[in-house]
């Protein structure tokens, strides 16, 4: 286990830091290379300054089965612009030259990792400054494929729990999970509907009965108000589709970045950050 992991790592330190501020973490998702590599790097650099606590960086894939139309389109834009997994790791490495503290989690599917070579991927991801992985199509029964090598290499392996993950299944899901648990608040694809606050609160409480890890809630959170509502009980609030749509809405007719692309992401993330910062204050009132 690496020194980074043994000391708790960036993810653990960040959750501890925001807990000291009596608020949840804002976890933001963007697709690597969307709409192009240069703009993607500028967006990545802007996220922490706008209020993002943890960054999920999507690894573009041609068959993203769990993603809604917005993230599918973002992945397609990135792939059409020439994004590869090697370039995604380089993006993280460049980010680390100016930001040594913000946790970065790579999120995506196993196929690109398999093509890259799991052992080489783990080594290169660690060297680039990646902190964790979310691989949505690898169940616990296949932990030997990537989860165990990732943990041994020093990467957190973050697992998804869903409304259909019952108490019998949950221990298996949590067995090798580290960093945090990502609770998918709705059934279906990303960005398809809004989560119900009362149901999310009950689910977070149930998961916490099985683990000491932070629980971050995502899928369907789009506004400052929703972020505040979910953040009253969750340790982290994940926003993806809304940010990706902010990118898409800023592009020109040819799908290229404009002068307003980075600013559009910054403005939305700043609003969301305001929401999570007031989440616990609202709960106390």
**Does the pLDDT at position 217 exceed 90?**
yes
What's 234's domain CATH number?
3.20.20.70
Question: Active-site positions?
Answer: 56, 67
Q: pLDDT per residue over 79-106, tens digit each?
A: 999 999 999 999 999 999 999 999 999 9
Neighbours of 102 (CB within 10 A): 20
**pLDDT (0 to 100) of residue 280:** 63
Structural domain for 269, as ranges: 3-284
Residue 196 pLDDT > 90, yes or no?
no
Number of H helices, E strands in the chain: 14, 9
Number of domains in the chain: 1
**CA-CA distance, 144 to 164, in Å (whole number)?**
24
pLDDT at 1 over 50: no
């Amino acid at each position: 286990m690496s020194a980074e992991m043994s000391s708790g790592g960036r993810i653990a330190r960040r959750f501890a830091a925001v807990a000291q501020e009596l608020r949840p973490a804002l976890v933001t998702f963007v697709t690597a290379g969307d709409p192009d590599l240069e703009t993607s790097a500028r967006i990545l650099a802007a996220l922490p300054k706008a209020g993002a606590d943890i960054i999920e960086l999507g690894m573009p894939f041609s068959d993203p089965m769990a993603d809604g139309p917005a993230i599918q389109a973002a992945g397609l834009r990135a792939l059409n612009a020439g994004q590869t997994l090697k370039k995604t790791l380089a993006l993280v490495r460049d980010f680390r030259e100016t930001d040594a503290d913000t946790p970065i989690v790579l999120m995506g599917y196993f196929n690109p990792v398999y093509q890259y070579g799991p052992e080489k991927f783990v080594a290169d991801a660690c060297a680039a400054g990646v902190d964790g992985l979310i691989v949505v199509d690898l169940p616990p029964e296949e932990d030997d494929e990537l989860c165990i090598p990732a943990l041994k290499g020093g990467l957190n392996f973050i697992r998804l729990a869903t409304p259909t993950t019952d108490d019998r299944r949950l221990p298996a899901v949590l067995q090798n999970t580290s960093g945090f648990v990502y609770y998918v608040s709705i059934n279906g694809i990303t960005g398809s509907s809004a989560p119900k606050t009362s149901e999310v609160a009950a689910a977070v409480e149930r998961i916490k009965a099985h683990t000491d890890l932070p629980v971050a809630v995502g899928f369907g959170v789009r506004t400052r108000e929703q972020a505040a509502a979910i953040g009253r009980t969750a340790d982290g609030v994940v926003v993806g589709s809304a940010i990706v749509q902010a990118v898409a809405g800023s592009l020109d007719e040819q799908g290229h970045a404009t002068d307003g692309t980075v600013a559009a992401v910054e403005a939305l993330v700043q609003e969301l950050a305001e929401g999570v910062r007031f989440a616990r204050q609202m709960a106390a009132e």
